[in-house]
């Protein structure tokens, strides 16, 4: 009985010392952090949201449009005329292109605030080239039966698939069109047929 009383008193003494925290056995001395100076904002859980995909970052400072040996700035667009006498096409800068000229408003998404630079295709001829209004504009597509379609001017392969992940025209390829080198989205098959060089 005396042993039981002695053990109980010893246990009561330890509990009292731990509860008081004055003898060096307080909560801050048990190896844990001192939380006394923290405020509610410091105790928020970590941000576990998925980080933004940094593998494709579109340049948005493409500057003026190259037009043959010229640079079209301000509101001017690049205009390409196909000569009726069989000679090579001529390029010039103007706010509005002459009737029959191909208008080139961009060379890639960097001149379209990150949106695609859209172009219509008819055989190996390019139609008007203009900026799309959203990332999903002009998903690259080409019909081999009609030899017509829509694609994008590009700088990188990712310009072809941004907003259009299932497109088969997923390669950024350099091709001669209307007397100028253009980089457009094609498939490997179309690039081979057209004699284009892809990234």
pLDDT tens digit string along 119-144? Answer: 988 776 778 889 999 999 999 998 88
**What residues contact residue 126 under an 8 Å CB cut-off, 6+ apart?**
102, 119, 120, 177, 178, 182, 184
Query: Is 40 part of any domain?
Result: no
116 with 109: CB under 8 angstroms? yes
Length in residues, the chain: 199
Of 65, 83, 81, the residue nearest 73 (C-alpha): 65
How many domains, the chain? 1
Task: Give the model's pLDDT for residue 99.
Answer: 84
Q: Is the pLDDT confidence value at 197 over 80?
A: yes
Kindly report the pTM of this predicted structure: 0.61
Q: How confident is the model at residue 31 (pLDDT cuts 50, 70, 90)?
A: low
Query: Is 69 part of any domain?
Result: yes
Query: Is 160 part of any domain?
Result: yes
Residues 95-105 pLDDT 10s = 888 887 888 88
Query: Is 56 part of any domain?
Result: no
Query: Is 6 part of any domain?
Result: no
144-185-143 Cα angle (round to 5): 15
Residue 138 tokens read as: 């002009």
Query: Which domain range does residue 117 map to?
Result: 65-198
What CA–CA distance (Å, rounded) separates 143 from 168? 11
169 with 183: CB under 8 angstroms? no
Mean per-residue pLDDT for 146-174? 93
Query: Is 13 part of any domain?
Result: no
Query: Is 74 part of any domain?
Result: yes
What CA–CA distance (Å, rounded) separates 39 from 73? 55
Query: Is 115 part of any domain?
Result: yes
Mean per-residue pLDDT for 72-85? 74
What CA–CA distance (Å, rounded) separates 174 from 184? 6
140 with 185: CB under 8 angstroms? yes
How many other CB atoms sit within 10 Å of the CB of residue 35? 10
Residue 171 tokens read as: 């390669």
Q: How confident is the model at residue 187 (pLDDT cuts 50, 70, 90)?
A: very high
132 with 112: CB under 8 angstroms? yes
């Amino acid at each position: 009985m005396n042993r039981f009383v002695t053990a109980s008193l010893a246990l009561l003494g330890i509990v009292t010392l731990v509860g008081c925290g004055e003898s060096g056995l307080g909560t801050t001395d048990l190896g844990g952090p001192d939380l006394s100076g923290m405020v509610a904002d410091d105790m928020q859980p970590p941000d576990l949201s998925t980080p933004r995909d940094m593998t494709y970052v579109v340049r948005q400072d493409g500057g003026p449009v190259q037009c043959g040996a010229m640079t079209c700035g301000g509101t001017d667009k690049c205009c390409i005329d196909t000569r009726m006498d069989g000679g090579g096409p001529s390029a010039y800068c103007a706010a509005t292109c002459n009737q029959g000229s191909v208008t080139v408003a961009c060379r890639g998404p960097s001149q379209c605030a990150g949106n695609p630079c859209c172009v219509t295709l008819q055989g190996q001829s390019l139609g008007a080239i203009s900026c799309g209004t959203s990332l999903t504009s002009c998903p690259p597509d080409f019909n081999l039966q009609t030899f017509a379609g829509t694609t994008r001017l590009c700088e990188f392969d990712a310009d072809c698939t941004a907003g259009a992940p299932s497109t088969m025209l997923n390669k950024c390829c350099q091709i001669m069109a209307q007397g100028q080198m253009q980089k457009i989205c094609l498939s490997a098959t179309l690039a081979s047929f057209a004699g284009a060089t892809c990234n």
